Amino acid sequence: MLVFVTTVILYVFGFVFLYGVIRIGVRHGIEDVEAHRAQLARAEQLATYEDRTFARDNAFLTGS
């Protein structure tokens, strides 16, 4: 009986532990995606600015 109770307790705590690990993993994954999204938006803004600057500085290449 003691072995059965111990097994059940360890089984339940195992599921609780796995739930916590999965939850932490998902949270970190979402944070990484949000940080990457901000970096991509910043890179896009920088690229647009650089394109405008290049076109303005080198108008003879744009045909204007």
Q: What is the pLDDT of residues 40-57, one digit of tens each?
A: 999 999 999 998 898 888
Pull the structure tokens for residue 50.
């650089």
d(Cα 64, Cα 52) in Å, to the nearest integer? 13
Section 26-39 average pLDDT? 94
Pull the structure tokens for residue 33.
């995606």
Query: Could you count the other beta carbons within 10 Å of the beta carbon of residue 6?
Result: 10
Confidence of residue 37 (pLDDT cuts 50, 70, 90): very high
pLDDT at site 64: 59
Cα separations in angstroms, 63 against 36, 44, 58, 59: 36, 24, 10, 7
Query: Residue 48 is inside which H or E element, if any?
Result: helix 2-57
Query: What is the pTM for the complete model shown?
Result: 0.56
pLDDT at site 13: 95
